[in-house]
Amino acid sequence: MKKILLALFILVYSQAAFSQEKQKLSLELNNSDVPTALNKIEAASGYKFYFDNSWLEIYKNIRITKNFNQASLDEILTEVFSNTDLNFFVDKNNVILTNNSIIYSKLADNYFGETTTRKSDEVVIQGDPVFYQQYDDATSGDSKNNSVSLIGKEAKVSGRKTFELSGYIKNTKNGEPIANVIIKTPNNEATAMTDDTGHYSIQLPSGLNVVEVESFTHKKVTRKIMMYNNGTLNLNITENVTLLEEVNVRGKKREGAKAAIAGVTSIDIKDLKNVPTVLGERDILKIATTIPGIKSAGEGSSGVNVRGGKEDQNLFLLDNATLYNPAHFFGLFSAINPYTIDKADIYKGSIPAEFGGRLSSVFDISTKKGNTTKFSGEGGIGPVTSNLMVTTPIVKEKSSLLVGGRATYSDWILKSLNEPSLKNSQANFFDIITKYNHKINDNNDIEATFYYSRDAFSITSDSIYKYSNRLATLKWNHNFNEKHKGSLILTNSEYKFNIDFDKAESQRAFNYGYKIDETQAQLKFNYDYNKKHTFNYGISSKLYGVNPGFMDPIGENSKLVPIALDKQQGLESALYIADNFKFNDKLSFNIGLRYSVFAALGASNQRIYEEGLPKSNETVAEIQTFGNNEVVKTYGGFEPRLAIKYAFTDDFSIKAGYDKTYQYMHLLSSNTTQAPTDVWKLSDINVKPQDAQQISLGAYKTFKDEMYEVSLEGYYKRMNNILDYKVGAEIMLNKNIETELLQGEGKAYGIELLLKKTTGKLNGWVGYTYSRTLIKLDSPFDEEKVNNGAFFAANFDKPHDFSAVLNYKFTKRYSLSMNFIYQTGRPITYPVGKYQFGNAEYTLYSDRNEFRIPDYYRMDIGLNIEGNHKIKKLAHSFWNISVYNVLGRNNPYSVYFVTENGQVKGYKTSIFSIPVPTITYNFRF
């Protein structure tokens, strides 16, 4: 019946169409929008136009400028509608506009089933006729499943059988893009997945299609789509309010068993609440150290060691800006408010070509975007810290502001202890972050972030230690088209510390300080060339300014002489290109090439030492002077990156990778582990940049619909120009620091096993790493040689590392969590005897790092109690009750030796030697 009605409709118009007069028109359009152009055509031709005004609303920004001289109405309208999805049909003196589709004046020969030869000038109807309720794509949501979205502009004659549908999928609640959403047809003949920006692209047959949008965390959406041509469809989907039954620290879906990149882990921020940590504080860095290949030197250490790398070989990025010290209070707390973090990607192997400047790893941390629809927030109140994050729309659906803050009130704990020496001590910190997002239009948006943190502590009444981080970023994202996107990023980072020693009447009162400042500009691009090739390319440049240290006397009684080291400057630049190449369904590559260059800049005085002699004050050949911004020394090189994956099946694959990296700055430390008072030094004539090469191989397997995951990775790394120190080196405020430094080679190797259960009442992960990190400091000169030039264990070498993080969900409101960590004790140098020289007695020490402190192990437990799950309530909350170090293990942080009554005695220090219970209240509104 529908075919007969459609045939009658077309036949009624066919005679009118053929009798149409071929009128010629002369018309001038000068920067006219579509409605204005139609009014001018009506006035000039006498034709009456019929259309829905809402159709023209989305084309209000289109402007037409053209002179028509004796042109037909068909020619003029074709030009006016060329950048729209509008078609037209002329009936006598009437022009009927249609959105997307065409009104036909004749039927195809085989419309009623006959098989006759079609003449070349006859039109072809694409697909079957459909009677539907049209739906506006621009406001598409999940409540219009029975409507049909019209995509593209139908052509009268087309030989294409499929068209491309692309667009963005975002969260209905806050407008944020959603990654890893599957778009497919019910029969799975066509599938696609959104990237990190929420963008997707899928090939669909012409005509009517049914498309399903699926995500584990969002409600399923089904849409009917009429494909007339290539086009876009943006969708908003709603979060699934069902509570998750598990805690996941997982590799990205695209980096799991199905992608080329190995050695990358994404931490699920939402589930940090279920992992017990010290004093109830959620801590992304503490969770990271439970992942195989990532270690901490111990409690009270602010740094991490990744696959045998030193603490300074990790690049911490917060919204693309460098965070130089990611820890509060000597590593006990993370410096980043966990409530403001959106995602954290950790690259410990196969580092993408866009990142550089560090040898071992990249911690790429991104903050949340604010809510563009309503005021919301979350926070937590604990025994020593409190957190709060709030977000509000500035311009609804377009811009938002997020503000997060955290502070400690831990002084009361020190004052309440039964230790008189700590009564006047203090320890406090705070951090604040703000982020502004603004969507200019569909192709442009901007982000701005500001972060500041500050620590101050005093264990004695006369010394105050202060250090702070500050960073700011500005990012402009631009879509050139559906395949080509780019970003301009400007960042600035600063880290500084001060030590004030101001004891009354002291002749040695001083203020000692240090500062490093970094300013960077980046251009990043992403180009989806086709299904096989996705290109990433860009360029970056950063300027370093370092104040290596100063000491000023305090008070009239101080006899100290002011000291100020010469400032350092450096310019580090790089360009890169990478291709994510899918050869076929089994074999894929990620091929990257990066070239970096570093220039040490003046003003500077550089010592030149005599060749063939050790660096010392006695071997200075000359001093070269360089003016401001004059190039002192240049270094550079290619940094190839290669990752290969071969998938034997959908759930089993092997991957291999190769990385070459350069690092042009070094951390100088007089401590065994990283401390806030460590200083950074740039490479120059006498200090070479570090470089490393790493190869890795891994196997990845999932079981039972990805409920269980197993990965086994091995790596081998060689490093050059690793920085170390002479015995008894003086680092603090040394104007000729190169005379105290040694540079040698290093090697690291290991195997990492990770077992994960991702769903069910009991879930979590178990990790084990066996690894070694060895350093060799050899030289023709005895004073520059360590352990006779043989390889020896690095300070952070811990061969065995086992961790388990398990969670059990009793009900939707009650869950129990447990951590267990075991590590081999780190190396240490012990006194092994005494000897007499002259009239003095001296201590004889072993070879460097020949012995080890006792092994470390710790168990923590935690209980989460969720509030009721009523939808309509002022705030949703939960309580966390945890016990850190529940076994009361007295794990040594360090071991030191003193001479008492002629005897050398050893002592060990620990941070937490007893169980530490905590109760924390968390809320979200």
Taking the C-alpha atoms of residue 795 and residue 772, their distance in angstroms, rounded to an integer, is 11
Which range, of 59-63, 439-443, 528-532, 725-729, averages the lowest pLDDT?
A: 59-63
3-state secondary structure of 82: coil
Q: Exposed (0-12), middle (13-18) or buried (19+): which is 357, by Cβ within 10 Å?
A: buried
Taking the C-alpha atoms of residue 387 and residue 338, their distance in angstroms, rounded to an integer, is 9
Which range, of 174-178, 317-321, 416-420, 916-920, averages the lowest pLDDT?
A: 416-420
Taking the C-alpha atoms of residue 192 and residue 202, their distance in angstroms, rounded to an integer, is 6
Per-residue pLDDT at 903 exceeds 90: no
Which range, of 5-19, 215-229, 471-485, 511-525, averages the lowest pLDDT?
A: 5-19
What percentage of the chain reaches a pLDDT higher than 70?
Answer: 82
Task: Identify the helix (H) or strand (E) that includes residue 57.
Answer: helix 53-57
- At residue 19, the pLDDT reads 41
Which range, of 221-230, 271-280, 630-639, 645-654, averages the lowest pLDDT?
A: 271-280
Residue carrying structure tokens 């004093």:
279
Taking the C-alpha atoms of residue 616 and residue 738, their distance in angstroms, rounded to an integer, is 9
**Inter-residue contact 817 to 884 (CB < 8 Å):** no
Per-residue pLDDT at 56 exceeds 90: no
- At residue 131, the pLDDT reads 38
Per-residue pLDDT at 74 exceeds 70: yes
What is the token pair recorded at 302?
A: 């602010």
* Residue scoring higher pLDDT (593 or 85): 593
DSSP 689: P
Per-residue pLDDT at 266 exceeds 80: no
- At residue 20, the pLDDT reads 44
- At residue 164, the pLDDT reads 85
Longest alpha-carbon distance in the chain: 125
Residue carrying structure tokens 């006779």:
788
* Residue scoring higher pLDDT (619 or 842): 619
What is the token pair recorded at 108?
A: 């195809």
Write the pLDDT tens digit of every residue in 855-872.
888 898 888 888 765 656
Q: How confident is the model at residue 105 (pLDDT cuts 50, 70, 90)?
A: low
Taking the C-alpha atoms of residue 922 and residue 920, their distance in angstroms, rounded to an integer, is 6
* Residue scoring higher pLDDT (661 or 409): 661
**Mean pLDDT to the nearest integer, 341-358:** 90
What percentage of the chain reaches a pLDDT higher than 90?
Answer: 31
Q: How confident is the model at residue 128 (pLDDT cuts 50, 70, 90)?
A: very low
**Mean pLDDT to the nearest integer, 309-313:** 90
Angle between helices 73-80 and 34-45 (to 10 degrees): 170
- At residue 466, the pLDDT reads 87
- At residue 125, the pLDDT reads 40
- At residue 357, the pLDDT reads 93
- At residue 17, the pLDDT reads 44
3-state secondary structure of 270: helix
Chain length of the chain: 925
**Mean pLDDT to the nearest integer, 681-696:** 94
- At residue 829, the pLDDT reads 87
Q: How confident is the model at residue 435 (pLDDT cuts 50, 70, 90)?
A: very high
- At residue 544, the pLDDT reads 96
Highest mean pLDDT among 24-38, 84-98, 323-337, 576-590: 576-590
Write the pLDDT tens digit of every residue in 389-420.
999 999 988 899 999 999 887 666 556 555 55
- At residue 127, the pLDDT reads 39
* Residue scoring higher pLDDT (82 or 305): 305
Per-residue pLDDT at 657 exceeds 80: yes
Q: How confident is the model at residue 243 (pLDDT cuts 50, 70, 90)?
A: very low
- At residue 13, the pLDDT reads 46
**Mean pLDDT to the nearest integer, 630-649:** 93
Which range, of 18-22, 111-115, 428-432, averages the lowest pLDDT?
A: 18-22
The answer, as to whether pTM is greater than 0.85, is: no
Task: Identify the helix (H) or strand (E) that includes residue 854.
Answer: none
Strand segments, DSSP code E, in 671-740 are 679-682, 690-703, 708-725
**Inter-residue contact 178 to 343 (CB < 8 Å):** no
Cα torsion angle, 642, 646, 652, 654, sign:
negative
Per-residue pLDDT at 847 exceeds 70: yes
Per-residue pLDDT at 559 exceeds 70: yes
Q: How confident is the model at residue 121 (pLDDT cuts 50, 70, 90)?
A: very low
**Mean pLDDT to the nearest integer, 246-263:** 50
- At residue 159, the pLDDT reads 65
* Residue scoring higher pLDDT (227 or 409): 227
Per-residue pLDDT at 519 exceeds 90: yes
Nearest-5° angle of CA 405, CA 409, CA 413?
A: 150
**Inter-residue contact 44 to 72 (CB < 8 Å):** no
Q: What is the mean pLDDT of the chain?
A: 81
Task: Identify the helix (H) or strand (E) that includes residue 178.
Answer: none
- At residue 320, the pLDDT reads 94
3-state secondary structure of 677: coil
**Mean pLDDT to the nearest integer, 890-897:** 75
663: which strand partners? 690
- At residue 158, the pLDDT reads 62
In Å, how far are 199, 507, 708 from 176, measured between CA atoms? 12, 59, 30
Determine the straight-line distance between the first and last CA of the chain, rounded to whole angstroms.
55
- At residue 436, the pLDDT reads 95
